[in-house]
Amino acid sequence: MASIGTLAGGVAHEFNNLLGGIIGCAEDARAEQDDEETVEALEMILRTARRACNITENLLRFSRPSARRTCATDLSELVGEAVELVRPEARGKRIFLEADLSTVATVQIDPGQIHQVVLNLLTNAIHALPEEGRMEVSVSADANGAAIVVADDGPGIAPEHRDRIFEPFFTTRTGAGKERGTGLGLSVSYSIVKEHGGTIEVMSEPGHGTTFTVRLPAPGGAS
């Protein structure tokens, strides 16, 4: 596993450099374009390249876990930012995405890391759902901390896979292109949440959707 981690980190670093160039050129080209179809194509390139960056960041985190830099953060605002990032992709699949983010939930977290967790969960749900599926995202808080819930009405997770979904490199997405999974998103998310002193749980039945719940401790409660 150590050798795989070293190899993954090296590959991810090189790909990040390439993706940075692609994103920079696409942003420059978009800023100079007025044609609606061309702008839309460039936006697709940017979204895809940024998704690829998320994958390489997962590989880098797997190979070289970084130190946390925590600060008091409104969890609802952070989740809202992640929701807006995935809305275009959800809209493209005609997925109904509902977000209940009215609760002010202040937690002591590394906002970049928890944002990555939320983005992983949202993206996984979108990829699992058929067209015209439904997703619900919410944030709640109490004296013990805060919780993020990402639920979908998709096909669910088979019982034989449920206990393995947080394992590195385990994936049930075996399609081509962007539909093919790396098996790192949930593993990295699990590690991030655990490092924050929290928990991540899944409830799912085949044919009855999937619900992920991330619980984070109140300020002062994280290890």
pLDDT in tens, 129-183: 999 999 999 999 999 999 999 999 999 988 888 888 888 766 665 444 444 455 5
Instruction: Return the pLDDT at 179.
Output: 47
Instruction: Return the pLDDT at 222.
Output: 47
Q: What single letter denotes the amino acid at residue 127?
A: H
Q: What is the DSSP string of 12-24?
A: HHHHHHHHHHHHH
Q: Quote the DSSP letter at residue 98.
A: E
The 3-class secondary structure across 103-142, one letter per residue, is CCCEEEECHHHHHHHHHHHHHHHHHHCCCCCEEEEEEEEE
CA distance 146 to 148: 7
Q: Distances from the Cα of 72 to the Cαs of 7, 101, 106, 215, in angstroms? A: 35, 17, 6, 16
Q: What single letter denotes the amino acid at residue 221?
A: G
Q: Distances from the Cα of 12 to the Cαs of 3, 58, 104, in angstroms? A: 14, 9, 36
Q: Distances from the Cα of 214 to the Cαs of 28, 102, 202, in angstroms? A: 37, 17, 9
Instruction: Return the pLDDT at 219.
Output: 81
pLDDT digits (tens, 9 = 90+) for 19-77: 888 888 998 998 888 888 898 899 889 888 887 877 777 666 666 655 668 899 999 99
Other Cβ atoms less than 10 A from the Cβ of 192: the count is 23
Instruction: Return the pLDDT at 194.
Output: 92
Instruction: Return the pLDDT at 180.
Output: 45
pLDDT digits (tens, 9 = 90+) for 87-140: 888 998 999 999 999 999 999 999 988 998 999 899 989 988 999 999 999 999
Q: How far is CA 14 from the centre of its chain?
A: 22
pLDDT band (50, 70, 90) for residue 220: low
Q: Partners of 74 in the beta sheet?
A: 106
Instruction: Return the pLDDT at 112.
Output: 85
Instruction: Return the pLDDT at 96.
Output: 95
Please say whether the beta carbons of 119 and 148 come within 8 A. Answer: no
